[in-house]
A = this chain, B = another copy of it.
């Protein structure tokens, strides 16, 4: 086995931007054995020197580490550049191009993004999160009226993680409607949803996957049985298609994908 290369993700703040970009790049090299190390809040030269000492120690053992950084402070960046590693300056070239484009200098201050500099949108995200938590699984008409999006699906089809992600990442107010036996008997849109048709997004899932998820929760129950899962999913899908709600399959989609798909649909209107 090849020994793995160290990927140092170095930022002067939370490190979320650096990690996202580094992983997006490295995902294109799925066969490289890599070891990720996160070094956040590296905002001073002294802290950068701790990182370069760490890199030097790796280099002495014959490794050539990769450094991915969003640091923009010139002195700190220079310290990293001098380390025996391959450095990826993730923001530098873009900032230079934007300075040229806008005809002004970049602020180049520490961690401007992922702080609360945009108070309004941050508070909207926290409000949406409270909303999702308060309305999780079954709410009244008032909450549906206040929702941006209403997720409809059987128990454990992915409604809750999706609504929390929509809130935390996108500031979108999502509520849930859990489909149950009496909804299937009705064979039309559940009454509480009738006035909100444009906000509805159905979630479905492979019955075997649902069976596995529910078994983790309540092994051996009727609720978790494959027969029951097959029955519920079949009836839910029939309902979605009868009333014409857009549907997403969550079986092998991440919450990031489900949420982005719903938002793309909302934008198309």
Contact = CB atoms under 8 A, between A and B. Distances in A.
Interface string A111-130: 01111110000100010010
Interface stretch (A90-98, A195-203, A227-235): A90-98
B25 A254 contact: no
A62 to B, nearest CB: 16
Interface string A245-265: 000000011111101110110
A260 B16 contact: yes
A171 to B, nearest CB: 12
Contacts of A16: 20, 169, 256, 260
A102 B32 contact: yes
A125 B257 CA distance: 15
A262 to B, nearest CB: 11
Nearest to A252: B116
Contacts of A52: none
A185 B115 CA distance: 36
B114 A256 contact: yes
B24 A260 contact: no
Contacts of A260: 13-16, 40-41, 114
B13 A113 contact: no
B98 A24 contact: no
A129 B164 contact: yes
A147 interface: no
16 contacts: A13-B260, A24-B112, A25-B91, A25-B94, A27-B113, A28-B98, A28-B108, A29-B98, A29-B107, A38-B263, A88-B97, A90-B94, A114-B254, A115-B253, A115-B256, A116-B253
Copies in the complex: 2
A161 B115 CA distance: 15
A86 B72 contact: no
A101 interface: yes
A165 interface: yes
Q: Which of A70, A86, A256 has the most chain B CB within a 10 Å cutoff?
A: A256
A26 B98 contact: yes
A168 B255 contact: yes
B24 A113 contact: yes
A254 B97 contact: no
